[in-house]
Structure formats: C-alpha cells, structure tokens
Structure 1
C-alpha cells in the first residue's frame, strides 16, 4: 500500500539524547550524569515526594556531592515567583544541570528556569518578554528567544501527562493568574529516566488524571487539523495503551501497566510537537488557573466535551482508534466509560465550577492565541465556546442538538 504524504509536513525533533526505560531512578540518574559529564546538579522536586517519601533522599544520596542544591517550592501550575527564585539560586550555585523529579508543574518550572538562566532574566517583566509567538500560518509555536542555552535538564517523571517530551512551559503568572507561554530552546529534557516504581508512589487520583491529560494530548495529535502520518501512528498506539492500561493502575503491583503507561507518554511525546493541537489542549490553560482546578482534572472534562463536538467531524480518526480498541460504540462513549471507570470528573459541575465562573472563561479563551485556532471542527466565537462547554455538562438527550446547534458567524 502506498502512503500519500501531503506537502509541507514538518516533523519537530525535540532534542532528547538518552531515554532510560524501566529502570531504578536512584541507579540510573548517576549513570546518566556520568554519560553527560555533569558534576553539579540542582534538584527540583515535588514537596510531597520530598517530605512524605524516601524517593528524594535516595536520589540525593546516590548523587553524593554532585547534588549542590534542592528546592521543593514548586506549587500547582509552577507560579512565576517560585520559578524566578529557584533560577536565581541554581545560577548562584553554578549548577551545570537541573534534575526534575515530579510531574508537569515540576518539569514546567525546570524548563522556565533554563530560560531564566540562559537569558539572565531573573525579573518577572523581563521573563514575560520572552513568551512564544506563532508561525505566520498559525500552526507552529516559536520561541521568543535565540539565546544559547547555558543549562539543560534531566527529567524523572512521576506522572504520565507527557510534559517531559516538549520544550513548552506554561507557568502561571502570580499577578494575572493566567498562564505564561514559553517555548524554551533545548527546553525538552536532554535525558529522561522512566522508573515505573515511582508512578506507584504517586497518589492514584493524580496519576490517573495525568494519564487522561496524556491521553488528551494523544487524541489532539491524532485528530489534528494538520495531521502528520508519523505523529498520528504513534498517537493512535498511545491511545490504545492509555485506554487499556489506565484502569489497571489501581493495582500497585501491576508493573506491566505502569510500564505501558510510560510507553504511552513516549509514543505521544515523539509526535505531539509536530502538529497543532485543538480546543481541549489549550482550554485547560484557561479553566485550570482561573477555575482553581488541576490541569489534569480539567483535561478529563474538556477531552470528553471535544470528543462530543467532533463526533460528526472526525469519523475517520475515531474509526481508526475504535478499531485498535476493538470497540463499537462512539469514541466519545468510550472516553466517558473510561472516565467513569477511573472515577474521574466528566462535567464542569464535577469540577465545582458555577455558571458565572464558566462564563468568565469565555473572553480569556477568545484572547488566547490558540484556543480558537486549529480546530478540526471550527471554534471561532463566544457562541462556539459556549456550545463546546455546554457539552461538558449536557444530558445525553441534549447532546445531539448541541453538537450541531446554532453558532455565531
């Protein structure tokens, strides 16, 4: 069979040099430090791991005098004030590598720290000048800096949302409560250490919701307005792995399921930067900080709403995914069943959001450079956004009318 490749496709390799899979982190990290020649590691980790487990103590002991500093002051959505403080400290200590141990907020913090150090930008106003911009055709995120990178990053992920696979960082601005948006040159980790045992140390509800966020990334890649055949192939396999293995994570002894979910992040991450993502990916950046809910919890709800929105507009893509899963219902129904099985939120009400809060998201969504762009089924106006959000709380009887209901033109 001949595969027809559309003209103008761009694949973006994000610069990873070593990926260690199914290893013990405390053994693999020193080996990776040796491989790269690093001698002065600054560790950034979640407070829970640092204070309620021996994970960080074991890693620090394994590094010995090569660990020259540590912070667990990260916070949800990695507030800029914490990023700037940690960057100044790592620079003062003359660190030659940053090591992240944690989830997306920890990794976002490390990427932005790299940008601070490379640009010597240790003040909020200067840092915000370096935010990303879009390519002329609106399909590619471009960096706001050309400075040579002074420091790189090694990631030890404890969640499965794929942050370790991108150079994109979206810390929250303490003053506006909106996400800043950075594309950091060489911001994707130089090395990744996948230890499945660390996933079992993550609170189950957090782990499952970040897995749904990773699933949302894969779905957005597979259903992109401008798909790439390599990215789609990987994304479809990732979707299969997530859907089949996330429910198994309830058994902390099911090592295969934890390993498969880390493979799913790998498959997703290898393609997701090469295609533009749609509504659910970006609307999380509005709902999360403004609604005071976790990124990954918002992703559960918005992923499902987007699937409903696309039911008559992504037939081929959904059909391929259903075939891999050997399922016959609609793809949206598969996702809803998965969320029910995982006991994850399915509606905006499940997130504790009131009507007036939801209405307050509309204008920031319209102002965002990505929410209303690159959607397989167009989402351009306030009425469109309301219609998709309505699907996040509609009864099954009302979904059909909402799915093709009136929209502003």
Structure 2
C-alpha cells in the first residue's frame, strides 16, 4: 500500500517557556510594519494577553469581540478591519474560535500574503490546520484551504495558566478526538499513527495536572493530534460535534466529551485494529481485537468522566424529537447513525 503525508505551509513553531517573546522576531521576518491582534473578550483581560500586546513593536489594531463558534458577523468585522488597516500580519491569541476566525477573515479578505501568527490558549489545535469553521444562522460552515494555515505558531505554557479549567480540559478532549479520528482514517500511515498515539499518551499523563510542564506537554499533544490533519478524514464524532455545537450552542470540547466514547464503539466493529492500539499503548499489554478496541473506548470514557465531564445532549435541552433535524444536517440516513445519536441523549 502507498501512503501519503502532506505538509502544510507552517514556517515555524516556537514552543517553551516565554516563547511568546519570539513574536516580534516573526513579525520582523514577515516584513510587516503593522498588525491586527484578534482575541476574545475574556482572553483580552488576561495577564498573558496584556504581556503580548505590551511587547509588540509595530503599529497594531485590536479586535477582541470573537465569541464561541466563530459567528460570521464577527468574522466580517475582522475582514473589514484587515481591509481598512492594510495590516501585514494578523495575530490570533485565544482558543479555536479566535484562531478559526482569523483564518476565515484572511480567506474572505482575499489577502493571500497576509501573515498569520497564532498563539493558542486552549488545546483545539486550530493553529495547525488548514480548516476554518464558523457559524452562520446556527449552521456550521467551513473553509478548507492550505493558504489559510497560520505561518507561525507560538506555544507558550504560561498562556493556559489563566484558561478556565473546564475549557482547558474539554479542549484536551477535543485534541483526543483529533487523535482518535486520525487513527481510524483510511490510508493513514506510520507518521499519522505514531503522532496520534503520542498525543493520546501525553493527554492521559498531563491533562489533569496543572504545572507549566504539564501545560507544555498538553500543547505538544494537541500539535501531535493534528499532525496529519491534511490527510485524515473527519470522522463521525467531529461531524456530529460540529452540528450540535452550532445548532445548540454547545462548546466544541464538550461536544467531543459527549460523542467520542460512543462513536469509538461504533467504529470498533470495523476499525478495531487501529482502536486496539490505544488500550495496548496505555496498558502496555494486550492484542489487537474487537474486545481490545472496546476496552479502548471504555478507557477514553473513564478518562473523560475523571476530568469531570459526563454530559448528555439532554443536559443542553436537546430531545429525541431533534434527531431527524440533526440527521438532516449530517446528511445521514442510516438507522444505525440515528440510534447512535439517540444514545447520546
């Protein structure tokens, strides 16, 4: 079998303590004389964000109104700001919605030469992908374009210190979701599999702890979880998560907490060899089998509950009457998928 690994146009990733201070080096390397800084209202109030802003040496504008699920209205405002200021760099500081908004705004501004520097504060791994998700009329929309991949990424472990614990942990489950869905993707070779397993192990070992080293290990895990994002297919957990997130206002990390174990059991019937690797690597024993694949799902479910997440869709006011609407948005007609969604209630 022939495997393929596709590189995305990321020029540099800087990681480690105080790596945020590399920002001016990257701005200088880009040749830009002005910048736009994009964030959310909550992140804009943090010491981490203020220290970044304080040290930017070029003229810059701020936009701090990005909200959950990246509404198109906010993206349009950032797009207008790009056009108005003619900035050469856009700097995104925050979680997946902030980074996706900056990617989408670059796309809609038609400024292919606009340099994007991403500084994440969660584990969504949006900074490592060519995908930008946004919400329009409560429907999740998406852009896939290599040219919107951030050129520079800064992983500073001091950033997560001010991220709410529930958000940090749930975004870590989102990274876990990325890794699992990489494993079960058709045609993924040794590179994608190796990094996905490394991501899962790092998350299991570090997500419940809160030292700077643990934060750094989790940031690396998020990177590894999306290492083969261009070649991996989006699985059912992500597809359902995007629909229910946009439709019912459920945070992305929480959607993964709801969907991932159940979807793993669904895939264990066909992709048991790949899913068996999770249990085998975490326990250091076992063999590839449907039973071992199911054990992997059990371990993920226990891990998520140990993080403090045990929500069902019903906790967000979603009823069984909504299943046809969810199925329609998924463009699914399979009764098996319908029963899967019912079990998430």
* TM-score where L is the length of structure 1: 0.78
Are the equivalent residues in 2 in contact too, given 1:44–1:101 (CA < 8 A)?
yes
In the alignment, which of 131, 142, 145 is matched to residue 168 of structure 1? 131
Structure 1 distance, partners of 2:207, 2:128, is 20
The alpha-carbon distance between structure 1 residues 326 and 67, as it changes in their structure 2 partners (threshold 3 A), is farther
Q: Is the 8 A contact 1:228 1:274 kept in 2?
A: no
2:178 counterpart residue number:
217
DSSP 3-state at the match of 2:140: coil
The alignment status of 1:306 with 2:263, answered yes or no, reads yes
Residues 198/182 of structure 1: CA separation in 2 closer, same or farther (3 Å cut): same
* 1:33 and 2:27 correspond: yes
Q: CA RMSD in A?
A: 1.8
Asked if residue 22 in structure 1 is aligned to residue 19 in structure 2, the reply is no
Q: Secondary structure, in 3 states, of the residue corresponding to 2:337?
A: helix
Query: Which residue, out of 44, 52, 72, partners 1:59?
Result: 52
1:128 counterpart residue number: none
Give the Cα–Cα distance (whole angstroms) in 2 for the partners of residues 73 and 97 of structure 1.
18
Aligned equivalents of 1:333, 1:97: Cα separation in 2:
45
Match in the other structure for 1:97: 89
CA drift at 1:201: 1.0
CA distance in 2, matches of 1:389, 1:67: 49
Q: CA deviation at 1:351?
A: 3.9
Deviations along 1:114-165, one digit per CA (max 9) or x if unpaired, are 111216xxxxxxxxxxxxxxxxxxxxxxxxxxxxx13121000000121111
Counterpart CA distance in 2 for 1:44 and 1:30 is: 16
Q: 1:26 to 1:20 in 2, by over 3 A?
A: closer
Task: State the distance in 1 between where 2:139 and 2:189 align.
Answer: 31
Partner SS, residue 193 of structure 1 = strand
Distance 1:312 1:183, change over 3 A: closer
Distance 1:168 1:236 in 2: 22
CA deviations 1:192-217 (Å, max 9, x no partner) are: 00011111210000111111011101
Separation in 2, partners of 1:347, 1:197: 32
Unaligned runs of 5+ in 2: 287-291
Instruction: Report the counterpart of residue 375 of structure 1 in structure 2.
Output: none
Q: How far 1:25 moved relative to its partner? A: 4.8
Which of 42, 60, 69 is equivalent to 1:68?
A: 60
Map 1:278-317; keep pairs closer than 5 Å. 278-317=235-274
Moved more, 322-331 or 39-48: 322-331
For 2:200, which of 239, 245, 256 is the aligned residue? 239
Query: Deviation per CA, 1:86-135, whole angstroms, max 9, x where unpaired?
Result: 1111221110010000010001100011111216xxxxxxxxxxxxxxxx
Q: Deviations over 1:14-33 (max 9, x none)?
A: 11111001132542211222
Question: Secondary structure, in 3 states, of the residue corresponding to 2:141?
Answer: coil
2:217 matched to which residue of 1? 260
| Partner SS state of residue 200, structure 1 | helix
Residue 383, structure 1, aligned to residue 335, structure 2: yes
- Give every structure 1 segment of 4 or more consecutive aligned residues whose post-TM-superposition deviation is greater than 6 Å: none
Unaligned residue ranges in structure 1 (runs of 5+): 1-5, 120-148, 367-371, 373-380, 394-409
More strand per residue: 1 or 2? 2
2:102 aligns with 110
Q: 1 or 2, which has the higher helix percentage? A: 2
Number of aligned residues: 337
The answer to whether structure 1 residue 156 and structure 2 residue 119 are counterparts is yes
Helix, strand or coil at the partner of 1:154: strand
Verify the 8 A CA contact 2:320 2:342 in the aligned structure 1.
no
Post-superposition Cα deviations, 1:379-401, rounded to whole Å, max 9, x if no partner, equal xx2412212223435xxxxxxxx
1:48 to 18, 42, 53: 42
Q: How many Å apart are 1:171 and its aligned residue?
A: 0.7
Structure label with greater radius of gyration: 1
Please identify, of 18-27 and 88-97, the stretch whose mean Cα deviation from structure 2 is larger: 18-27
Q: Which residue of 126, 134, 143 maps to 1:182?
A: 143
Aligned 1:192-211 pairs, distance under 5 A: 192-211=153-172
CA contact (8 A) 1:87 1:114 kept: yes
